Amino acid sequence: MFENRAKPLLEWYKKEKRSLPWREDATPYHIWVSEIMLQQTRVEAVKRYYARFLEKLPTIEALAECEEEILLKLWEGLGYYNRVKNMQKAAKVIVEKYDGEMPSDYDKILELPGIGSYTAGAIASIAFGVRKPAVDGNVLRVLARQEEWEKDIAKTSTKKEAEYILEEQMPENDAGEFNQSLMELGATVCLPNGMPKCEKCPILNCCKSKKHGTIEQYPKKSGKVKRRIEKKTVLLIQKQEYFAVRKRPDEGLLAGLYEFPNQEGFLSEKEVLFFVEKQNLVPIQIKKIENAKHIFSHVEWQMQGYFILVEDTELKKSKDFIFIDKEEASENYPMPSAFSVYKKYMDKKLE
């Protein structure tokens, strides 16, 4: 598989590859940052995060030493915050064991926290020319369509088989380019959901699913796990120009981030007022605001909101939360995108 396809893939990639900042300066650190950011995130969205992240943390040492809240603020909006926490854990290992330089050995890269076979393969091949594959969903889709693969691409065994096949067929001197050509083909031509641009494919004449008219049948993938529904009542509690926020627990979903106070379930106005009073606050006005929804990988939050104005007191910290203004929220308090619908109310007044 692919033994006769490397040459047309590489020629196509050199002509058609997108100009991306991490390709212009393919240092191990830059490749690592970009690959972690690109997981579950569109390329165009990643560009600005990538530039900001490297401006603030230009080296692995800087990443290792960064305060967690600053780190999470830099990652705000990308989601999956454990990714950047694991990056920092790995950075500390690199500083301690490898003098701040990413190791060039694939197995040593793979041992680092938060780095799986795909990311290790990408770093090792692109930065160091190591003949190791980097198999992501894009690459699996290309393989499945080219060979009419009946295997379930969601299974680890299928990915392992793909890695073995590609490593066997990988060109001797162009490992990084070969991996990137397959990634690029899946990202820009062999698109998912029955929308491939086959007329632009450099290896179309080798594609069995195109030949047999079965493209929409591939890849084969087992059904997703049904998401758990969680209902929440989100509270925008305002005192003068300040709004209440609280820090989430250090473990679990969105660990260590800040959020608007919220309660499980859909509370009535009376129940909301009772909760606010329990925080040693005196509500003056309350208004129902819009509903929102946020989808995580295995959980869906269904949210309703209330805007509550409370009396101005000397209290800067209640039983469960602190009061901050919009500027502080923007600069110092990392808040997940799950609450983005409600963040805009920090610009408004209760009428």
Which pLDDT band, with edges at 50, 70 and 90, does 26 fall under?
confident
Is residue 192 reached through a cis peptide bond, with omega within 30 degrees of 0 on the bond before it?
no
Q: How far apart (Å, rounded) are the C-alpha atoms in residues 87 and 123?
A: 14
> Is 24 an annotated catalytic residue?
no
Please check the confidence at residue 1 and state whether its pLDDT lies above 70: no
How confident is the model over 203-253, as pLDDT tens digits? 999 999 999 999 999 999 887 778 899 999 999 999 988 999 999 988 888
CA distances from 91 to 14, 57, 94, 298 (A): 32, 11, 5, 28
Please check the confidence at residue 317 and state whether its pLDDT lies above 60: no
Domains and CATH numbers, the chain: 6-217 (1.10.340.30), 228-347 (3.90.79.10)
What angle do helix axes 82-98 and 28-38 make, rounded to 10 degrees? 160
Q: Which amino acid is at 194?
A: G
CA distances from 282 to 5, 127, 235 (A): 71, 59, 14
- pLDDT value of position 316: 56
Mean pLDDT of all residues in 153-179: 92
Residues forming a β-bridge with 239: 242
Please check the confidence at residue 351 and state whether its pLDDT lies above 70: no
For strand 228-239 and strand 262-264, is the pairing parallel, antiparallel, or unpaired?
A: antiparallel
- pLDDT value of position 296: 87
Mean pLDDT of all residues in 123-149: 95
- pLDDT value of position 314: 66
How confident is the model over 252-281, as pLDDT tens digits? 888 889 999 999 999 999 999 999 998 888
CA distances from 277 to 26, 281, 283, 311 (A): 55, 5, 7, 11
**Full-model pTM:** 0.85
Q: Which listed residue (35, 148, 177, 259) is catalytic?
A: 35
